[in-house]
Each structure stands twice: as structure tokens, then as C-alpha cells.
Amino acid sequence: MNLRTDVLALLLIVWSGVACGAAPLYSIKLSASPSILLSDGKSVALVSAEVRDEKGNLVPDGTQVQFSASLGVLRDTLVSTSAGIARTQITSSSLPGVATITATLPGASAFEEIRITFTDDPEMLRQRANTYLFSSPQYLAYSADWQCIEAVSSEQKAEIVVGALRLQARSYQYRLDEDLVIAEGAVLSRGK
């Protein structure tokens, strides 16, 4: 063998090792209910991770899902799926903040993150049950696939009204799955 065939043989071995040893592809859909908790160190939310394989099928029972949280306390961090879903609970922190919850599959390249808000403002908890009013004279759209409502108004007239809270902005996105608003040129007011 000469140097050229040795290098080619080595490259083929390395390439086939990568192809054969590649982690299977999975997807995770993560949700939490409720997504806003009182920061009392006692309030609890249910966290669910739906796991699917590369063909879109739910994974077999017993597939391990690893959960982690940047704030608050998870009841279980390594959970087996049942009917393709792994569930755990998170207990709120005693300090207000936003917890990032991550779900991963050990040995696979799948992960997903969501955020839960821990608040010391009881008004935020009451808003969960309120009706949301979205409006814009220029552009207002809803995407079921992206779980998002988007509005644009060049004159800062895109509005979200929730209970006594009113957001007026040039543009906003409301992400339903995270209960999160991202706004540009916004004014937030409380009261009628």
C-alpha cells in the first residue's frame, strides 16, 4: 500500500464509523401547564414531553427523557415515556424569575426548551383565565403551525388587551405555547 491508499482507507473507516454510529433522529414537543406560577416555593406545573422518532411515530414506552430546569425544582429529572409522553412536575422558586426547562434524550441529538414564569404579582395569575383581545388596523395574523399571533401597525396601534393590561406596539408576536409576548415600540399600561 502506498500513502494515498492508506489515507483513502483511513477516511473510509472514519466516514463509515460516523455514518454507522450516528444518533437516531427524534423530535420533542415540550409543554407546561400552567405556564405562570406564583413564586411561593409551593406552586406546581405539569411538564410534558411528547417524543417522536424520525418517522413521526411516538417512541416506545420506557424511552428515557432527561429534564433540567434553570429555576425551581423538578420532581423527577429522568423519566420514562408512556404512550410516547414523559411527564414530570416543577415546583416554583421562592424568587420571581423565568425558568428554562429543557428535555433531552440521552444518547440522541433531540432537545427542546420552554419557559415558565414565576411571579410575585397575583395579577399575572388572574390574567391566565382572562380573555385575550388582539387587534391591529394594519396586519394581524395567526399561525396554527407556529402557535403564534403576529400584529404590525406603523402608528403603534397593534394592541393586546388582557384583563386590565393593555399593550400597544408597532409590532408584536404572541407565542401561545409559551404565553410569551415579544414587542417592538411598545407601551404597557394597567387600567382602562
Mention every residue, 6+ apart, whose C-beta is less than 8 A from residue 133. Answer: 159, 160, 161, 162
Query: How does DSSP classify residue 20?
Result: H
Q: Which residues are registered as beta bridge partners of 181?
A: 174
Average pLDDT, integer, range 5-21:
41
Entry field: residues in the chain? 192
Which of the two residues, 142 and 16, has the higher pLDDT score? 142
Q: Average pLDDT in the 99-115 region?
A: 92
Can you tell me the distance from the alpha carbon of 180 to that of 162, in angstroms, rounded to the nearest whole number?
A: 13
- Residue 170 DSSP class: S
- Model confidence, pTM: 0.57
pLDDT average, residue stretch 74-87: 94
C-alpha 97/C-alpha 138 separation (Å) is 34
Peptide bond into 106 cis (omega under 30): no
Question: What confidence tier does 79 reach under pLDDT thresholds 50, 70, 90?
Answer: very high
What is the arithmetic mean of pLDDT over 31-50?
A: 90
Label each residue of 92-153 as H, E or C.
Answer: CCCCCEEEEEEEECCCCCCEEEEEEEEECCHHHHHHCCCCEEEECCCEEEEECCCCEEEEEC
- For the cut 50, the answer to whether the pLDDT of residue 100 exceeds it is yes
The band of 77, judged by pLDDT with boundaries at 50, 70 and 90, is: very high
Pairing of strands 36-38, 111-119: parallel
Most confident among 75-79, 133-137, 157-161, 175-179 (mean pLDDT): 75-79
Residue with cell 437516531: 24
Taking the domains of the chain in order of start, what are their residue ranges?
Answer: 26-122, 130-190
**Highest-scoring range by mean pLDDT, 31-40, 93-102, 107-116, 162-171:** 93-102
State residue 24's pLDDT score. Answer: 67
* Architecture in CATH for domain 26-122: Sandwich (2.60)
- Going from the C-alpha of 132 to that of each of 128, 135, 137, 164, the distances in angstroms are 9, 10, 17, 11
Share of the chain above pLDDT 90, in %: 49
Q: List, for residues 116-152, the tens digit of each pLDDT value.
A: 999 998 877 766 655 688 888 899 998 888 889 999 9
